[in-house]
Structure 1
Amino acid sequence: MTWETIHPRTEPVFWHKAVWFKDHIPRHAFGCWVVARNRMHTRDRLISWGLSVSPLCLLCNAQHENRQHLFFDCAFTAEIWRSYVAAANLSPPTLFEDLLRWIVKPSNDKNLNRIMRLLFQATIYLIWKERNTRLHDNTSRSPSSIKVVINQLMRCKLDPLSRAQPNTPSTISLLTTWFTIFQP
């Protein structure tokens, strides 16, 4: 009773299922949670706090860095994300808030839905990691090399999940779905 008085139950935020779902990768989910709350220390936020930094995106050096640009509008990022949604023949929304709603159920295929949520989080995590590597280490990777890392990460995550799926003639494994769509 006291706990409920101090901590009243509230409705989960609309992006809850996009971030906290079964089989998420904790570090990726945490990164996605921070991005969903718009709490990443992007350059627009640093400038709003009075820091004297260049407003330009570290990945493309062409536009001002903010959440929308860094994770979706940047040419560097778009090359990574769009290749996956194109392979899956999906048309995601272009605004981040809308994408958080869409990613919960981007298709009618359960396997593809799970894969896309994992892929979304892995992409966000590795884009942020690349951005910080460029800032702190003065090294950079190409979008294609980041896709290689994402592909390897996805295969490693989907393999045990596929083994845990029921083994029936009508069941298509997550890994089979991955290879069929993303690495034919």
Structure 2
Amino acid sequence: MRVPKVSWERVCAPKSEGGLGIRDSFSWNMAAIGKLVWWVYCSPDRLWVKWVHQVYIKGGLWPNYQPSGDISWGWKQVCRARDILAPGYSDGQWIMDPKGYTIGSGYDMLRQKFQPVSWHKLIWHQVCIPKHQVICWMIARRALMLKERLFALGIAPDDRCLLCGQGTESYDHIFQTCVYSRQVLDDLSRLCQVVIPHSDLLEWTEGYQCTQLKKKGLLCMVMAAYYHLWLQRNRARVDGLLMRPAVLSSQIMHEIRMHLATRITVPPDGMNDVFL
């Protein structure tokens, strides 16, 4: 069984906090059961709540009630949810949401919080190719298994870059300063008629001043470049083969042009306007 590259807690975080926005099933189920806890607190006229008081609580206080060993499994889960969600209550009132308890507010209390990130709107832009987005998300999360990390763990015999054979295979090297990567990016610069810097390309794209149409094209190009550079790195590791930089850059541009033609309205002058 492989070790996950990103922890489940971070995967389940919202995209604005650097996650994938996947709901953690345990926390969501517990938040859903919390609706029954809320009913016992604030809906005494419900028939089910009256039955619970008659059969289980029997005149006691709901916050202090402790289930015995011979009751149903389902009721024990309700009591468990009450204990887990207890920090969200004050004097029987749900304090996490002024409108009262909701499953969403219960889940938000249970999930682990992380610092917001600035790159999520770029990576998850609707115009980009999904498989490119996933790799760029892992790059932003520093979750790829580069040789710098593998060598430090004693897994790889060295930390040399697989694309150029020079320098340590780190994020800054392989996606910014590697000789092979720079040749690909320089070719893309020529094809797009823009100057691509030796820096974080997503950050550069965000601050680049141009039309919205061109920015969409550049964003797709940058994410495709990251994806294909990582693909070539893995190809070099497995097969010992590398595509020539000029061929790779042409392939990237062809892929992006074909994709954009189906996703955005192209001006009358043609697809070149996206990059000129």
How would you bin the TM-score normalised by the shorter chain?
Answer: 0.7 to 0.9
Is the contact made by 2:202 and 2:219 (CA closer than 8 Å) also made in structure 1?
no
Question: Residue 51 of structure 1 aligns to a residue in which SS?
Answer: coil
- How much identity, in percent, do the aligned residues show? 22
Q: Does 1:175 align with 2:271?
A: yes
Displacement of 1:105: 4.1
Structure 1 residue ranges, 4+ long, deviating more than 3 angstroms after superposition = 7-12, 85-93, 171-174
Distance 2:155 2:188 in 1: 36
CA contact (8 A) 2:186 2:196 kept: no
Which residue number corresponds to residue 109 of structure 1? Answer: 211
The one-letter code matched in structure 1 to 2:259 is K
For 2:253, the equivalent position in structure 1 comes to 151
The answer to whether the 8 Å contact 2:202/2:222 transfers is: no
Asked if structure 1 preserves the Cα contact closer than 8 Å seen for 2:148 and 2:159, the reply is yes
Which position in structure 1 is the counterpart of 2:263?
A: 161
Give yes or no for contact 2:187–2:249 (8 Å, CA) kept in 1: no
Partner of 2:239: 137
Q: Helix, strand or coil for the counterpart of 1:70?
A: helix
Counterpart selection for 1:4 from 92, 103, 108: 108
CA gap of 1:109–1:71, structure 2 versus 1, over 3 A, is: same
Q: Which residue of 2 aligns with 1:119?
A: 221
Figure out how many residues of one structure are paired with residues of the other and give that number: 172
Whether contact under 8 Å (1:122, 1:150) holds in the other structure is yes
Q: 2:188·2:249 contact (CA, 8 Å) conserved in 1?
A: no
Paired residue for 1:95, among 191, 196, 199? 199
**Counterpart for residue 148 of structure 2:** 44
Give distance in 2, aligned partners of 1:89 and 1:117: 14
Residue 138 of structure 1: how far off its partner (Å)? 2.0
2:15 corresponding residue in structure 1: none
Q: Bigger shift: 81-90 or 130-139?
A: 81-90
Between stretches 82-91 and 58-67, larger displacement belongs to 82-91
Q: Counterpart of 2:144 in 1: which secondary structure?
A: coil
- Take 2:219 and 2:228, find their aligned partners in 1: how far apart are those partners? 14
Contact 2:124 2:133 in 1 (8 A): yes
Deviation of the 1:151 alpha carbon: 1.7
Alignment check: 8 A CA contact 1:115 1:174 kept: no
Q: Does the CA-based 8 Å contact 2:160-2:169 persist in structure 1?
A: yes
Match of 1:34, as an amino acid? M
Relative to structure 1, the CA distance from residue 42 to residue 10 in structure 2 (aligned partners, 3 Å threshold; closer, same or farther) is: closer
Structure 2: stretches of 5+ with no match in the other structure: 1-104
How far the C-alpha of 1:14 sits from its partner, in A, is 1.2
Question: For residues 254 and 190 of structure 2, what CA distance do their matches in structure 1 show?
Answer: 19
Is the contact between residue 132 and residue 223 of structure 2 (CA under 8 Å) also seen in structure 1? Answer: yes
CA contact (8 A) 2:122 2:206 kept: yes
Aligned-residue offset at 1:107: 2.2
Q: Does 1:77 align with 2:173?
A: no
- Partner residue in 1 for 2:40: none
Determine the structure 2 residue equivalent to 1:56: 160
- What is the DSSP-based 3-state SS (H/G/I as helix, E as strand, rest coil) of the residue aligned with 2:215? helix
What is the CA–CA distance in structure 2 between the aligned matches of 1:139 and 1:92, rounded to whole Å? Answer: 26
The structure with more radius of gyration: 2
TM-score of the two chains, using structure 2 as the length reference: 0.56
Cα separation, partners in 2 of 1:103 and 1:30, compared to 1, 3 Å: same
Q: 5+ unaligned residues in a row in structure 1: which ranges?
A: none
Q: CA deviation at 1:116?
A: 0.8
AA aligned opposite 2:253: N
1:128 alignment counterpart: 230
